[in-house]
């Protein structure tokens, strides 16, 4: 996690230092660096099995803390899913960009900064949508099957 955060900060620093690198296609890479920092900074530190077991024991032993810890795990799961979905969406944008540039250069040449901004924004909006659905009642967040962290309750059939 520490190496990932440091490496992505270096990537962002390079884009800040060298203005010629700030192109529309490289905006995708900049956004991917932010998602990686989000996953590394939020997802990795909390995903330790020992921390989860401590919290589960704490939840069982101290019922007055249940709601507070439950809310914290819901927030953790939503943020982790958000950054993960944003990363997947941005990688999809990279794939579309490479396809259009290599296989369909007639279309790829017509891609503008606005086109890339729209695709990047769509990836972030998609991530917000899917991360927020369990918080509004479509499925739920719960401990994952391994019990190591909280994620979408994939076992819920309703």
Structural domain containing residue 81: 44-152
Q: Is residue 144 part of a domain?
A: yes
Q: Is residue 27 part of a domain?
A: no
Q: Is residue 24 part of a domain?
A: no
Phi, psi of 2 (to 5 degrees): -65, -45
- pLDDT for 89 beyond 50: yes
Q: Is residue 146 part of a domain?
A: yes
Q: Is residue 2 part of a domain?
A: no
Q: Is residue 58 part of a domain?
A: yes
Q: Whole-number mean pLDDT of the chain? A: 82
Q: Is residue 88 part of a domain?
A: yes
| Number of structural domains the chain divides into | 1
pLDDT digits (tens, 9 = 90+) for 59-75: 444 444 555 567 777 88
**What is the rounded average pLDDT of the residues 22-35?**
93
CA distance 65 to 56: 11
Pairing state between β 150-152 and 141-143: antiparallel
For residues 43 and 79, the model is more confident at 79
The alpha carbons of the chain give a radius of gyration, in whole angstroms, of 19
pLDDT band for 143, please (50, 70, 90 cuts).
Answer: confident
């Amino acid at each position: 996690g520490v190496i990932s955060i440091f490496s992505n900060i270096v990537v962002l620093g390079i884009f800040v230092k060298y203005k010629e690198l700030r192109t529309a296609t490289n905006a995708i890479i900049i956004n991917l660096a932010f998602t990686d920092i989000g996953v590394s900074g939020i997802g990795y530190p909390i995903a330790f099995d020992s921390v989860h077991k401590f919290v589960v024991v704490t939840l069982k032993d101290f019922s007055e803390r249940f709601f507070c810890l439950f809310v914290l795990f819901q927030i953790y799961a939503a943020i982790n899913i958000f950054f993960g979905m944003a990363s997947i969406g941005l990688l999809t944008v990279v794939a579309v960009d490479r396809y259009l540039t290599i296989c369909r250069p007639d279309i790829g040449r017509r891609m503008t900064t606005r086109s890339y901004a729209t695709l990047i924004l769509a990836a972030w909006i998609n991530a917000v949508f899917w991360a927020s659905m369990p918080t509004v009642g479509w499925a739920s967040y719960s401990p994952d099957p391994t019990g190591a962290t909280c994620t979408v309750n994939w076992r819920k059939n309703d």
